[in-house]
Amino acid sequence: METKLFLEREDLFDHYVAAHPRGDVLQTTAWGRVKQSTGWEAFPLGVMDRGRLQAAALVLAKRLPYIPAVLAYSPRGPLYSSGEALAHLLQGGTKFLREQGALVWKMDPAIPEADPTWLEAARSQGLKQVETGLDFDGVQPRHVMTLSLNHSLDTLLANMKQKTRYNIRYAMRKNVTVQALKEKSQLGVFYCLLQETAKRDRFTIRSLDYFEAIWDHLVQAGLARVFLAYHEETPLAGAICFRLGPRVWYVYGASSSEKRNLQAPHLIQWEMIKWAKGAGCTIYDFRGVSGDLRPEHPLYGLYRFKEGFGATLETYVGEFDLPIRQGGYALWLGGLRMHNWIRRYKRQAH
């Protein structure tokens, strides 16, 4: 087996990612180009064995502020066809990233928790599990809600909670309509909704340039789609979903405070589910929820919204670090603790 860069064979790398049962848009070279627009470098690493790819990881790398070192991260990777190929990938990746000056290689594959192949590789290769809690302290969510699309549309609708089904039909009766964007210039409408949502719910968002990069590299390549819900001429909700192979991910959502009684967010989800099924997909991934499912938890409403569509909870192995330089990794952990403390302090202050 040989670990090598696929900068000149991105098509082969992307084909492996798309065909893999746990493949994700975040592991494609197209996602690497999106991240390059924000200052990351992207390295598609793969393991070849007798002319076939057996493991792959899109590695994003970025220089850390204040210290001459690099952070490496594989969102929703690595992907692999065997434990042996995974071990070769981790060993080859460590060697490559040491040459790049990396302190740590972070990863969070979409693999079910307690997967024996992953856990054995983590033990034998010295990976360190990162404790991210039950909420959203990880880079990617560990707890996600997924909906099987292996049913008719009538059955999918019948399997929803009564209130969810009512809200969808209510929005339709009130003439709320949903459309997929055809022009990049329309992104500004989605972004205004996102800005309103962020202000209302007190979270930070990326610049419009970032979403334009998503359009250029994902929407144009058929890996993403942007939807808007309108009532008459008023935009009420927006969403971006990613698509690869049999899976669609609901990635970004936004809604207006105007006419909230018309239930546009429910209808936009239903239209995206119908689009995903019509495109031949078999899984609609609502992405993250808290792992704490107590009704009194502040994020329980998010779980209840997604569960209302018939989605079920799926838990992944979580976030792992592969230390590249042991002394440097200790420095990284210290800086990360300080960063998290400052972030928590700012949240409490608001």
| Residue 86 CB coordination number (10 Å) | 25
pLDDT of residue 136: 74
pLDDT of residue 71: 93
Residue whose structure tokens are 């040459």: 99
Distances (CA, A) of 76 to 52, 142, 174: 21, 10, 39
Report, as an integer, the average pLDDT of 220-228.
98
- Please report, for residues 85, 178, 215, 276, 336, the alpha-carbon distance to residue 256 in angstroms, rounded to integers and kept in the order given: 48, 14, 22, 24, 35
Nearest alpha-carbon partner for 23 in 13, 10, 33: 13
Which ranges of 128-202 does DSSP label H, i.e. alpha helix? 153-158, 162-173, 187-201
Q: Are 5 and 43 in contact (CB under 8 A)?
A: yes
**Where along the chain do the CATH 3.40.630.30 domains lie?**
2-133+317-349, 143-315
pLDDT for residue 339 = 46
**pTM, two decimal places:** 0.92
Question: What one-letter code names the amino acid at 41?
Answer: E
345 pLDDT above the threshold of 90: no
For residue 350, what pLDDT is reported?
44
Tens of pLDDT, residues 313-341: 999 999 999 999 876 676 667 666 544 44
At 268, is the pLDDT very low, low, confident or very high (cuts 50, 70, 90)?
very high
User: What is the DSSP code string of 276-309?
Assistant: HHHTT--EEEEEE--S---TTSTTHHHHHHHHTT
CA distances 261 to 168, 256, 301, Å, are: 12, 11, 17
pLDDT given for residue 36 in this prediction: 97
Average pLDDT, the chain: 92
In DSSP terms, 242 is beta-bridged to 224, 249
Q: Which pLDDT does position 337 carry in this prediction? A: 58
Rounded mean pLDDT, 116-141: 89
* Helices and strands per DSSP (H, E), number in the chain: 11, 15
pLDDT tens digit string along 89-104? 999 999 999 999 999 9
How high is the pLDDT of residue 67? Answer: 74
Q: Alpha-carbon torsion 128, 133, 136, 141, what sign?
A: positive
Fold of 143-315: Aminopeptidase (3.40.630)
> Region 103-121: what's the mean pLDDT?
95
- The CB density around residue 340, as the number of other CB atoms within 10 Å, is 11
* Helix-helix angle 162-173:264-278, to 10 degrees: 100
52-61, 111-120, 134-143: which range is least confident on average?
Answer: 134-143
2-133+317-349, what's its fold? Aminopeptidase (3.40.630)
Question: How far is residue 49's CA from residue 309's CA, in Å, rounded to a whole number?
Answer: 42
Provide mean pLDDT across the span 24-52: 97
Whether the link from the prior residue into 109 is cis, omega within 30° of 0, is no
- pLDDT at residue 127 tops 70: yes
Burial class (CB in 10 A: 0-12, 13-18, 19+), 110: buried
By percentage, how much of the chain surpasses pLDDT 90?
86
Rg of the Cα atoms in the chain:
21
Q: Which helix (H) or strand (E) holds 145?
A: strand 143-148
Please compute the mean of the pLDDT values over residues 279-290 and round it to a whole number: 96
Categorize the per-residue pLDDT at 342 as very low, low, confident or very high, splitting at 50, 70 and 90.
very low
Which pLDDT belongs to residue 329?
Answer: 73
Lowest-confidence segment of 78-87, 125-134, 213-222 by average pLDDT: 125-134
72 vs 74: CA distance, rounded Å:
7
Cα 94 versus chain centre, distance: 24
Give residue 196's pLDDT. Answer: 96
